[in-house]
Amino acid sequence: MSRHRAVLLAAGGSRRLGRPKQLLLRDGEPLVRRVARLALATDADEVLVICGAFEADIRAALQGLPLHCLSHPDWQHGLGSSVRRAATQLQQYDGPVLMLTTDQPALTVSHLQALLQMAAASESGCAATAHTDGQARRAGIPAVVPAMLLRQAGLRADKGLRHQLNALPADRVGWLDAPELWRDLDTPQAMAEAIALGLLDPQ
């Protein structure tokens, strides 16, 4: 498997949830730390964590892990701005980048390894989690993209990384079918459902 770097987008303010979803617990461990550990388990050359809201608490949750936390003062401008922050940090890198978020409590290292293998085998160097929108299949995170595509996404304020992936011919992208990863943690109801399924500790 080719060498890669990993970027964990952990800067969001969790406005709809009303509390930092990065710090929700699964098996007594904050989700941000759990996902960072999974990224490290893929043997990434470097793991970058983009921090914004709740930065001090997130840095504390990650203490002791061999990774780099990057401050992102403009986190309120949305996920696309975090992608731009990562792209700026990786200006001198041209290999594959594993992109992750913190709000997928069902994520395992097997998902990430599969994406890396699919990306290495794909014509575009890309692999994405498949999300079904009606009859259409859309690319989601986690995903693996070449650093060049990440930089292109960072330049587009109007159209982000998902748009870049979805603009590629479908047969040039590796697709991971993992409906368990569609479940996010954007609302109190979503959090309660994840707790009921055993994906989160009672909070």
Question: Is 182 a member of any domain?
Answer: yes
Question: Is 186 a member of any domain?
Answer: yes
Alpha helices in 92-183 (DSSP H): 109-121, 147-155, 161-166
Full residue range of the structural domain in which residue 16 is found: 5-196
Question: Is 203 a member of any domain?
Answer: no
Alpha helices in the chain (DSSP H): 31-41, 55-61, 79-89, 109-121, 147-155, 161-166, 188-196
CA 150 to chain CA centroid, nearest Å:
13
Question: Is 202 a member of any domain?
Answer: no
CATH code where residue 166 lies:
3.90.550.10
pLDDT averaged per 10 residues, the chain (length 203):
88 90 97 98 97 96 97 88 91 95 95 98 96 79 94 66 88 94 89 95 92
Structure tokens at 199: 């994906």
Instruction: Give the pLDDT confidence score for residue 158 in this predicted structure.
Output: 47
Question: Is 201 a member of any domain?
Answer: no
Please tell me the total count of domains within the chain.
1
